Chain A
């Protein structure tokens, strides 16, 4: 479980996040939604420790991340898997080497064991016969899946996905969403997904936090979201025709 308390992030004189408090639960896909530029990625990067919060605290279980020393922070980071918006695969390494990288770094497994584990993770995300290809030789969707395979290689306790569907076709988006949900349920990870894709929200949003202009504007789940009377949320959700029709159908 991850708990965020009164989080504030200021860049120079610009307040990007203001007094955000929320809890992300274990074994559930927790979604952070909001318009582009609302502060979703900054919130995610504060949670994973890439940005130092200006104020407030982030708790991993009951440990305050900002108060931990370097070694303890490092220990928590080893339990984190992250899928980046652009997958962030290492250009100079093959697909297999990318997935094996965290295993190389943090385990004492033999080369064969590492290969086996990498192949298991790649199979899990439906990437086959691509082990020896470089990131520049595979498609965007495949890159995301390889990124996900790398993120789960060490059996993480915490899984973070920053815009996993951006730039993907609807079919691949659904596949990625399903993979994230399956992994969350199977390994009981605390998963946080940053998205503004309504298909993801309605598909896997077990817990949803809506961010507007750096503030938490709403919190709930996919069942509540269509019937909320929150004006800001409705403006965001019902900008999408499909969501409008879904609400109509459910109201009927």
Chain B
């Protein structure tokens, strides 16, 4: 229990170091662009692939579970759209990114720590926490909302593909459902969640990597912890944010 409080305190102390004034904006901007590619653009492929398959499966499962003649067919399109917006594109994609981006960040910073690269930055008089972590946070907060939007669109596209191929319902019914009773606030809700999740993924993983002590084995463990703790926090904040925003 005491250890948990220790890590909790250390995490916030690290955040305090991260959010201090950058030494040179130009260098941070260059890092931001680098991280934008590293954290954001490089995740585009996996997000699109997973979202297309998720949308497709949601559509098929909804179709096979709502075969009652009392239920209108367009509900399948509506179910696909709302499932993607409300849960899958924000939470599921965040969990996947926690695995991909989180482990990458923890192992990168962990390796930098054990090979004294972070010490080298500190000795030069550079705030290593801010230099290494702040650009990652900013780029994730900037790009993850785009990933969520792309995921929503890809998911709906995946649903449409499955309808076209399997003919579980007609395409016009599906498209009608996708457009039926659209509530734009659901997108806002998804984007708010995405921002929180992006912050959690980057900061939790960075904390795990930045504070590594030891050798390669510890870097591996930190990488695993980064994914586990990020995922748990994402699920916890998913419940809290849903209650706060949708209630």
Distance (Å) between the CB of B120 and the closest chain A CB?
A: 4
Residues of A within 8 A of B67 (CB): none
With an 8 A cutoff between CB atoms, is A66 at the interface? no
The CA of A134 and the CA of B133, in the complex, are separated in Å by 23
Query: When the two chains form their complex, are residues A50 and B119 in contact, meaning their CB atoms are under 8 A apart?
Result: yes
Cβ of B170 under 8 Å from chain A: no
**CB interface residues, A 76-124, toward B, < 8 Å:** 76-78, 80, 82, 84-86, 88-91, 101-102, 104-106
Q: Does B96 contact A (CB under 8 A)?
A: no
B188 touches A (CB below 8 Å): no
The answer on a CB contact under 8 Å between A91 and B117 is yes
Rounded to whole angstroms, the CA-CA distance of A91 and B115 in the bound complex is 10
Q: Contacts A104-B27, A105-B27; is A77 near B125 (CB within 8 Å)?
A: yes
Asked if A237 is at the interface (CB within 8 A of a chain B CB), the reply is no
Contacts known (A104-B27, A105-B24, A105-B27); A84 close to B119, Cβ less than 8 A: yes
Is A74 at the interface (CB under 8 A from chain B)? yes
Residues of chain B within 8 A of A50, CB atoms compared: 119, 122-123
Q: Is B195 an interface residue (CB 8 A)?
A: no
A-facing residues in B79-132 (Cβ within 8 Å): 111-112, 115-117, 119-120, 122-126
A229 at the interface (CB under 8 A from B): no
Min distance, Cβ B30 to any Cβ of chain A, angstroms: 9
A108 to B24, CA, bound (A): 10
Interface string of B24-63 (1 = CB under 8 A from A): 1001000000000000000000000000000000000000
Chain B residues near A73 (CB-CB < 8 A): 125
> A75 interface residue, CB < 8 Å from B?
yes
Q: Do B123 and A86 touch (CB < 8 A)? A: no
Chain A residues near B112: list those with CB within 8 A. 91
Chain B residues, Cβ within 8 Å of A45: 119
Known A-B contacts A75-B125, A78-B125, A105-B126; A88 and B24 likewise in contact (beta carbons under 8 Å): no
Flag if A77 contacts B116 (CB, 8 Å): no
Residues of B within 8 A of A74 (CB): 125
Instruction: Spell out B's residues near A (CB within 8 Å).
Output: 23-24, 27, 111-112, 115-117, 119-120, 122-126
Interface CB pairs A-B, < 8 A, 25: A45-B119, A49-B122, A49-B123, A50-B119, A50-B122, A50-B123, A74-B125, A75-B125, A77-B122, A77-B124, A80-B123, A80-B124, A82-B123, A85-B116, A86-B115, A89-B117, A90-B117, A90-B120, A91-B111, A91-B115, A91-B117, A101-B124, A105-B27, A105-B124, A160-B123
Give 7 closest A-B pairs by Cβ, nearest first. Answer: A77-B125, A88-B116, A88-B120, A74-B125, A84-B116, A78-B125, A82-B123
